[in-house]
Structure 1
């Protein structure tokens, strides 16, 4: 799902959750272009804001959005790698509010030149951290087995034509390796019969989603990040997670339930909060967003029994 720049998704719902804890230390775990960061400091101008993004380009854009604002601490990192030591380095004793927005910025699709888009010719890359040297989308389609490609397309794209598309990729790459995003677009278009194309999206959308998730290990980092950051919350601290498709929402839902089962947290949203019709009209990218929240419990203090 593409998130429009500078238009934070579910703004009033995010603030509704944040106000429960009246936060002093806020962490925007996926800063993007700074939309939610700006919203949070507008609401809590005295708060300290930690902005995190794994993409150095995006973190710079977020910093520009936040120029001249109060106490802002940018950290280039995957949010799943933030730990107590990172916070201690900036003098943070613990977090009162954490926001994890699992959407992908519109910038990546329009301006990054990394092959996220379906619309223009770009290298088949899709890395959110190109400086690290992880496998690219081209590496995956050029060197994965047919069964591995099928698994990726089914598991991360929920694509019913996964095996057929995987077979087409194997046959095509025997003649020429894939290097450009449009080569995958055209292959998917030719692999799925026209009468089975989705009505509202391009037929290659699910395949591109699957490749992006596999390249960046997005679902693994989502669960790891939720668990790690939940451990950095202060008593009564709140974590809010925004997801944009069923795979992400499932991870948020079950990880929150697991944390609640431990006895240390309370799920605040029995059902996910979703955008209003008015918000969807203003920002179409919000239409599939779901927000869930969880709060760290205050420990119950028991007096020692007399011997």
Structure 2
């Protein structure tokens, strides 16, 4: 998500992201960054401007978003290696195949969905417009949200809405979906949003949010297998992060944050890494006023220790 570089777009927690990278790396030196969720390129733009001698690997699983980011970052094209891929694909072989000459020193993941997807993608991520129930982030096919809604059995639909959406009205919503699909497929976002709205009594609608928000979130997570990619991908990225490197992750709901927290904690316990943030960093009141979409963001940061750092840790910060 983008920050106010061009007055319209926002990058969530951009001040904090820059602070933690500048704390770890000298702007004058040469480093390799990896932005595993390019979005519209806001965070990458921040890094390329503030680390003028460094290079960046730009990844996104969505070809449309990657092209938008490339266009925005065109002035830095000689310092960018752009690849259409999911961050969960990154390992040593991947880096070698794309021509990276070193492991990344700084890695950033922003796990939020972009404003472009919500407002302009036309793939049914939002209920603002009546769009086909698609929700696929990548162009490689796979199951759509329409397939999930119309073909998944009751138990699996209930599991998705309750676990991924943390939706307390799951039972009644699933009953309504099963009844509706006896008469034909549910194919558009407007129809699904109205169905959920009718099921949940108005007095229980969440303040400031559409009552179908949790259901749409759960569908998007299922369609794109987001939690699986986060769990699998963070472990792989921790392995390829260079010694002395720093890894930052922004999550937007408790399921994502729990995975990040546990993966970072377990890796730090192996004595090869150190938690920079013991608790997640939250957006300031100022940022929430600037960009309401940032209100649920959480940032966690971890350092991969070098051999000398490990020795210092083992010896109570004293040199051998």
Indicate the TM-score class for this superposition, using the shorter chain for normalisation: over 0.9
User: Quick one: higher RCO (CA 8 Å, sep 6+), 1 or 2?
Assistant: 1
1:8 aligns with 2:11: yes
* Structure 1 residue 3 displacement after superposition: 6.2
Question: 1:214 & 1:20 partners in 2: Cα distance?
Answer: 37
More displaced stretch, 27-36 vs 247-256: 247-256
> Residue 49 of structure 2 corresponds to which residue in structure 1?
42
Question: 1:256 & 1:190 partners in 2: Cα distance?
Answer: 41
* Structure 1 residue 20 displacement after superposition: 3.5
Question: 1:242 & 1:194 partners in 2: Cα distance?
Answer: 32
> Residue 24 of structure 2 corresponds to which residue in structure 1?
21
Question: 1:181 & 1:201 partners in 2: Cα distance?
Answer: 16
Question: 1:230 & 1:93 partners in 2: Cα distance?
Answer: 15
Give the structure with the higher percent strand: 1
Contact 2:2 2:40 in 1 (8 A): no
Correspondences of 1:77-92 after superposition (within 5 Å): 77-88=85-96, 89-92=98-101
1:124 aligns with 2:127: no
* Structure 1 residue 281 displacement after superposition: 1.3
Contact 1:265 1:295 in 2 (8 A): yes
Gaps of 5+ in 2: 312-320
The list of structure 1 runs, each at least 4 consecutive aligned residues, that deviate by more than 4 angstroms after superposition, is: 2-5
Gaps of 5+ in 1: 303-307
Contact 2:251 2:298 in 1 (8 A): yes
Contact 1:3 1:103 in 2 (8 A): no
1:291 aligns with 2:299: yes
Deviation readout 1:148-167 (Å, 9 max, x if unpaired): 11100000000000011011
1:176 aligns with 2:184: yes
Contact 1:267 1:294 in 2 (8 A): yes
> Residue 305 of structure 1 corresponds to which residue in structure 2?
none
Question: 1:228 & 1:92 partners in 2: Cα distance?
Answer: 18
Deviation readout 1:177-212 (Å, 9 max, x if unpaired): 111111110110111112211121110000000000
> Residue 69 of structure 2 corresponds to which residue in structure 1?
62
* Structure 1 residue 85 displacement after superposition: 2.2
Contact 1:21 1:96 in 2 (8 A): no
Question: 2:124 & 2:100 partners in 1: Cα distance?
Answer: 39
Contact 2:2 2:43 in 1 (8 A): no
Q: TM-score, normalization: structure 1?
A: 0.94
Q: TM-score, normalization: structure 2?
A: 0.90
Deviation readout 1:13-62 (Å, 9 max, x if unpaired): 11122124326000001000000000011110110110000000000000
Correspondences of 1:141-152 after superposition (within 5 Å): 141-152=149-160
1:187 aligns with 2:208: no
> Residue 112 of structure 2 corresponds to which residue in structure 1?
103
Question: 1:30 & 1:228 partners in 2: Cα distance?
Answer: 15
More displaced stretch, 107-116 vs 191-200: 191-200
